[in-house]
Structure 1
Amino acid sequence: MIKRFIVGICLLFTAMVFSQQNNSSPYSYYGIGDLKFKGTVENRAMGGLGILPDSIHMNLQNPASYSSLLLTSFTLGSTYSATTLKTDAAESEATRTTLDYLALGIPISRKTALAVGVLPYSSVGYRIENTVVQDDTETFTQFEGEGGLTRVFAGVSYKITPKLSLGADAQYNFGTIETKSITALPSVPVQYPTREINTSDYSGISFNIGAMFQTKINQKYDWFTSATYAPSSKLSSDTERQLATITFAGSSEIIVDEIDVTVGSDDVTLPSKVTLGSGLGLKSKWFVGAEYTFQESNELGNRFDDVTNASFEASHRVSLGGYYTPKYQSFNSYFSKITYRAGLKYEKTGLVLNNESINDYSISLGMGLPLNYFSSNLNLGLELGQRGTTNANLVQENYINVFVSISLNDRWFVKRKYD
């Protein structure tokens, strides 16, 4: 029954991940868009920590964790976001609902496990309008963008010793980003506005390797250490450009004349990334930890060579978080079996606009609700944060994210003792 359910959810997720509009941020204009968090709701509720190996939860951030799974684990996550976009002069609201990930982890033996999954890698979604008057000439511009990249991964993990595990993911990244700009000169006798549409198709392979080490301190406390490294990789892109003069009939655009141009192929570099984390806890009771991520400076893609107010710097992220379970094996109190999670995150995103670094701060809370099926559970989370600034004519995003996931566990590949 559970296998049929997983297959059905996989088909539904695959159809929806290609069609959803999963961003509403002007900062997604740059590069290949906003990079999505690669982690589960459980990780995200703890500030994004990816330190813990777990026997019933998948950890998508470190492939070395897969070998800790005792049961076949299927997980699916989704987020509802409400964002207030604020400038010195105006304020607007945006909401969206997204499917964040789907993954399946399968223990092959006591030491080896495999994992496969799909999740968004980056997302683009914005609509910006601007009017500038210079030398008695009024210029109206409108920018729109949508799309993003999807990542499909397959990984393997091997437990070298009871304390040390290694793992690796191979990832295929692909997707399409479409941007549109319209320019009009209302104050001069130019009959039609001009429109430019760029459609870029991206594809490429990347890798992620990880290690996890755990040991006992004073024969009581569990100490965990985690490390991952994603080497720099390349995305190939093919871009087609459509230039046109247009007119409007209500809200619809009518083409007066157009030219299709093949811009050609180019490569986009995905920068290398290193993550280190460590924490202390008491198994199935509590845990506190910290994690640091460093990513090399990004690069502007070929579609943005004319952007002069934007640059990239190295990205840094610090996460603090943990969990607490009052009594994991309680028989008379359901609330004692709930896992409570909390975390803090500070991220220097690496994007610099008008000499202002775009930073991201957030606080998160969550809980894991046990279900009555092989340690399966429902995970809920809430994240409150702020990204960007109103300085230098920029946009400050105040966001609320509500996320939910389900983790289903079952025994697969069990040999029958009796026929």
Structure 2
Amino acid sequence: MKNTVFLLTFVLVSLTSFSQSISSSPYSLYGVGSLYDADFGSISSIGSSGMALPSTSFINNLNPASLGFMPLNHFMLDVGGKAIGTTYEGSKKTEKRNNFQFSHIAFAFPVTKNSGFSVALRPYSSASYKISNLVLPISDSMESYSLTAAGSGGLNNFDFSYGYRFGDKLTVGASAALLFGNIEDQRYLVVSNSITTIEKKTDYNGLRATIGSQYKIDSTFTIAATFKLPAQIKGSKVQSVSTIADEVSTTVESNVSSDVDDYYMPLEIGVGISKRFKNVLNMTLDYEKSLWKDTNQSDSYGTFVNQDRFALGFTYFDANRNMRKYWDRIQYSAGANFDTGYLEIDGKRVNNASISVGISLPIENTFSALNISYSYGQKGTVSNNLIKENYHKVSVNLSLDGIWFVKRKIE
């Protein structure tokens, strides 16, 4: 009973924190904001890899097929958050910002001995930016204009996943995600002696499906694949526009509602492996290709390009040790991640590279664990008047496991 009350209390606290989550990045000006990495369990400590890991002791959000390996009578809950300190480095000055972000809340349970189901709520993208006096060229002209912008909001991802296991080796799974949210944006454009103010709120909503598979070649080696299908995210906006020229103010639009160009999610293809060595060290390696260029969409300030992501992780846990000793049950992890990015600005890719280390502290004698990881990374570049982000990130995930629907043998 105490465990149940604790779980419910943690859920309520996490849902409250979810509405307050903020991610700051000047690159969230583009599209629907910067894409969010919400990693469950210890995945953040292994470079966000793990597509081939089964959901035997935690909820694996990277592949719905992993749910086919869920143990019977186990109810799992996963919640997490991040603390991020970022230094923004430009060609002339630097700036530091710190923030805390809610990462996710999810629960999963087995449906049959060969299948499992999960529900998860997490941010999909986050837009939180303040940009002052950014000079940009005017298309088909030798002139330029100055942009000052501020925005907030982003999209949320609410998904349902199901995985089924055929025999002892093959699992397949699928998930359906509802993407929804809004972005509030205010921009000031200065051209010569004219100032244009644009205030708008854009609402987005759409559905996206993912299918995946895992195959156990043997007890130490698993391969996996995922396919995130293309999706169309519809948008509508309410906008006000005013101008000031020669000290004369003119209202062009006042709270005018209209549709905006749909936002297109690309086909994303991923493959991964998980290999265990001598029952002590586990390696995970993932590769994912996102075909953003095929969406044929563009942004006013950048171009969408195909994206490649590489993730590598190592986990140390000696299963041969005495599991009665607490320190012998601790898991240690490290990883690296490189992402070429899906935006190209003035011919420069906005890529991202990071390294991570982590520790998983067991709770009681179940699969419950407190996962703590640290990551250091760099995003973007200083060249071409762009901004480079150097960030330190501490992720804390609580993975709780409860054994339900088992009749006590001793009262």
Q: Same fold (TM over 0.5)?
A: yes
Match status 1:351 vs 2:343: yes
Which residue does the alignment assign to 2:224? 226
Q: Which amino acid aligns with 1:29?
A: L
Which residue does the alignment assign to 1:149? 155
SS at match of 2:158: strand
Q: Is the 8 A contact 1:272 1:296 kept in 2?
A: yes
Which residue does the alignment assign to 2:87? 84
Q: Is the 8 A contact 2:382 2:388 kept in 1?
A: yes
Q: Is the 8 A contact 1:46 1:321 kept in 2?
A: yes
Match status 1:53 vs 2:51: no
Given the alignment, which residue of 199, 202, 205 partners 2:204? 202
Q: Is the 8 A contact 2:266 2:295 kept in 1?
A: no
Given the alignment, which residue of 142, 163, 173 partners 1:167? 173
RMSD: 2.7
Going from structure 1 to structure 2, the CA distance change for 1:300 and 1:86 (only over 3 Å counts) comes to: farther
Q: Is the 8 A contact 2:380 2:386 kept in 1?
A: yes
Which residue does the alignment assign to 1:387? 379
Q: Which amino acid aligns with 2:231?
A: S
SS at match of 1:326: coil
SS at match of 1:414: coil
Bigger shift: 1-10 or 404-413? 1-10
Q: CA deviation at 1:44?
A: 1.6
Given the alignment, which residue of 379, 388, 393 partners 1:396? 388
Q: CA deviation at 1:59?
A: 0.3
Percent identical among aligned pairs is 27
Match status 1:110 vs 2:106: no
Q: Which amino acid aligns with 1:162?
A: D
Q: CA deviation at 1:196?
A: 0.9
Counterpart Cα distance in 2 of 1:350 and 1:256: 38
Which residue does the alignment assign to 2:104? 101
Counterpart Cα distance in 2 of 1:10 and 1:202: 26
Runs of 4+ with deviation above 6 angstroms: 299-302, 416-419
Q: Which amino acid aligns with 1:411?
A: I
Going from structure 1 to structure 2, the CA distance change for 1:379 and 1:132 (only over 3 Å counts) comes to: closer
Q: CA deviation at 1:418?
A: 9.7
Structure 1 unpaired stretches of 5+: 247-254
Counterpart Cα distance in 2 of 1:402 and 1:236: 34
SS at match of 2:46: coil
Which residue does the alignment assign to 1:5? 6
Bigger shift: 259-268 or 232-241? 259-268
Match status 1:241 vs 2:242: no
SS at match of 2:406: coil
Given the alignment, which residue of 280, 295, 299 partners 1:285? 280
User: TM-score, normalising length from structure 2?
Assistant: 0.89
Going from structure 1 to structure 2, the CA distance change for 1:90 and 1:359 (only over 3 Å counts) comes to: same
Bigger shift: 223-232 or 321-330? 321-330
Q: 1:299-310 residue pairs with structure 2 within 5 A?
A: 307=300, 309-310=301-302
Q: Is the 8 A contact 2:136 2:147 kept in 1?
A: no
